[in-house]
Chains A and B, each alone.
Chain A
Amino acid sequence: MTDLDLLRACQRNDPRAQTALYHRFRGRLMGLCRRYARSRPEAEDMFQEGFIRIFQQLHTIEQPDRLLPWMKRVMVNTAINIYHKNHRLLAETDYDAAQDMGTDDHLDTLARLSADELVLLVQDLPDGYRMVFNLHVVDGFNHPEIAQMLGISEGTSKSQLARARAALKEKLKKLGIVRYEHS
C-alpha cells in the first residue's frame, strides 16, 4: 500500500489503515515523545494523545509526502500543550547561570553514549530547558518561532537554550568522570 493509499484509507477512518499507519510511524513518533517528555509514562500519554489528534485531523492532509513532517508537528504541538498544562509557571524558572566549559571532554562523552542514554539526559533537564533544547537543537525551530510557540520572549528562549547546553555539558562531564572512575 502506497503512502497515498494509506492516507486516503486513514482519512476514511479505516481501522486497518490506521493500524498500518501506526506501525509505520510509531517508533519515530514515540522517540520524539520520549525527547519531549520528562518520563516514560508522560511520553506514553503524549504519544497516545498525539496519535489520536493525528487520526482526527488527518483529513486536512492532501499530500502524502508531507505526512511525516505533519505528524511530527502534531506531536510537537501535543508536547507543547502538555508542557503548558503542567508547567505554566516553570517556563521562566531560574536556573544557575550557565557555566562555560573550558574543555571538550563532554564531546567525547557524548560520542560514547547511546541514544537512549542521551534521551535520559535530555529528560533530566528542567522542563523549560528541555523544550527549548528539543525545539531548537533537534527539531530546528528558530528562536522567534519557539518564543511564539511557548509564549515566551526570544531572549528567554536564547538564555534557556544556553542554560540547557550548559546543563547537558555539565551532566556529560560528570557522566564521563563517573565512567572514568568506574572503568
Chain B
Amino acid sequence: MNTPEDEQAWDDLFRQRLEHYEAEPAADALGRILAGTPKPVRINRRRVAGRVAVSLLLLIGMSWWALNRWPMLPEQPAAVKTSPVGTARKSTLPSGSASSPTTPERSPSSTLVNPDQSVAVNKPSVREREATFPTNNTFSYRSPGKSRQARVAGSVRYRQPATYRGRIRPTDATYPDWDDSSTDLVNVLTEVASVAEPAPLTIGRLQHLGLRLPQMAPPAAPISAQQTHLATSPAVSRRRRSSVYASVMALYSYRRISPNTNDEVYIRQIQSSRTFSSDRIGSRIQIGKEWRLSQRIGLRAGLTYGQLRTSMRYRLRTLPTDSTQVNWVNDQTVRLTPMADRPVAVAGRYHYVGLNTDLIVSLGSGQLWSHYLTAGATVGGYVAPVRRQGAFLQASYGIERPLTSDLWLRIEPSVQYGLNAVSDRRNLCKIRPYTYGLTISFRK
C-alpha cells in the first residue's frame, strides 16, 4: 500500500520529467497556423493622409462648384438693410437730439433734408474739423425692384454748403454704381459713425473708408454707436479671417453590433437599449479655431473629447460546453468560470479624443440667423475602457447669430458616424457607434 508521501514523490518525479518536455512539431505547422490567423492590419499613414487630403479637396471642389452653379440664397437688399438708419434720418430730428455730443457747434445750415430720401448731414464745426465733402455729388441707393436707370433717375442730388466746395477733385464725385455686398455698406456706416467721434475727418480718411462714401446716402444725423449696432445684423456683419470656438454637444448614441466570430461562442438574443433610453446619452466637447477661406467657405479644426455610453444584453452560449473563462487571481491561482448558456448584461462608457476638421459652407442669412452646413471628420482613438484607434465622419446643419459684437452663438443638429468598431470588454461583440446630437457652440 502506497502512502500519500510515496504518491507525492511519484507525482514529483513525473512532473520533473514531463513539465518541460519539448517536442518538435511538423515542418509545415507554421504555414498552416499563419494561414489560419488574421491578416496583419497595416496602417499606411501616408496613404491615409493622402486619402484625407483628396477627400477634402473633393469636398472643397464640389462645394465651390455647387456654389457657383446655384447662387446664394437671396439676401435683403442693401436699402432695406439700411432702413433702420434711414428711418432714423427720416424722422424729424430735433436739432438737439440728432446731434452728437462730439459736435456741439452744429450749425442749422448743415442739415439738409432731401424730400426723397430724407437724408441729413451734420456739418461739423469748421474750426474744429477739416472735413470736406464733395460738392455736387450724386448719391444713389439701390431700391428693390428698380433698374439701374431707375436708380440713376431717382438718385438724389446732394448739395453741399459752399464751405465744402472746391475741396474734392471732380473725379471723386462720380463713382460706378454700388455693386458690392452689403457688408461693405455696413462697414462704411460703421466707419461713418466713427466720423462723429472727435477724430479728425479728412479726405484721406474717407478714402481709406473705401472711397464709396459718395455713392451711399449721405449721413444724416451723426450715427450713434447704437444705430451702428442696429445695422450690424448677422447678414451684413464682417467676419474676421479667423476665430476661436468652443462647443458642447449632447448626443444620443446608437450602434451596430456584430458578434465576434473568432471564438467558439454563440451570442444570441442581442438586445440594446431603447431608442431614447438614458443608456444612450453621451456628450462631446470641442475647442478649436476657425478660418474663413472665402466668402462662403470656412474651415475649422480643433480638439475633440467625447464620451458615449453603451449597454446591451445578450445570451451567451459556447459551442463546446466545457469552455471556460480564465481570470488570474494571482501568480499561482487562476479562476476558471465555465461559460454556459447564460444571460449577459454589458454596460460601459467609451471615451475618445481626437482632432476634428470641418468644412463650413454658408447658405445665406436671414434677419437674425445665418445658415450653414458643415461636413468633416474626427480622427483619434478611444482611450477608455479600451485603447483603440477610431475615426468619425460628421455632418451638421447649423444656424448662428451674434450675441454681442464679437461673440456668436451657433446651434447645430449633428450626426456622427463611427468608422471603426470597438469591442466590448469580453471581446465578443464589435460595436460601431453612430450618434445624433445637438451642438451648441460659441465663436469669438
Interface residues in chain A, defined as those with a beta carbon under 8 Å from any beta carbon in chain B: 12-15, 18-19, 22, 26-28, 30-35, 43-44, 47-48, 51-52, 55-57, 59-60, 66, 73, 77, 80-81, 84-85, 100-102, 104, 106-107, 110-111, 115-116, 118-119, 122, 136-138, 140, 145, 148-151, 165, 168-169
Contacts and interface: CB of A to CB of B under 8 A. Distances in A.
A48 B36 contact: yes
Given A73-B326, A100-B1, A34 B21 contact: yes
A31 B17 CA distance: 12
Interface string B7-33: 101110111011111111110011011
Interface of B: 1-2, 6-7, 9-11, 13-15, 17-26, 29-30, 32-34, 36-41, 262-264, 320-324, 326, 328, 334, 336, 338, 427
A149 B36 CA distance: 26
A8 B38 CA distance: 15
B23 A27 contact: yes
A142 B410 CA distance: 65
A137 B11 contact: yes
B322 A84 contact: yes
A33 B328 CA distance: 22
B18 A138 contact: yes
A100 to B, nearest CB: 5
A107 B13 CA distance: 9
A34 B18 CA distance: 10
Given A44-B29, A77-B324, A18 B34 contact: yes
Contacts of A14: 40
Given A22-B33, A138-B18, A47 B262 contact: no
Contact of A138 (B2, B14, B326, B336): B14
B37 A55 contact: yes
A136 B11 CA distance: 9
Given A104-B6, A106-B10, 14 more contacts: A12-B40, A27-B24, A28-B22, A33-B23, A44-B29, A59-B427, A60-B427, A84-B321, A100-B1, A107-B9, A118-B18, A118-B21, A137-B14, A138-B19
Given A15-B34, A51-B33, A55-B33, A148 B336 contact: yes
Nearest to B11: A137
Given A12-B41, A44-B26, A110-B14, A31 B33 contact: no
Given A12-B41, A31-B22, A19 B336 contact: no
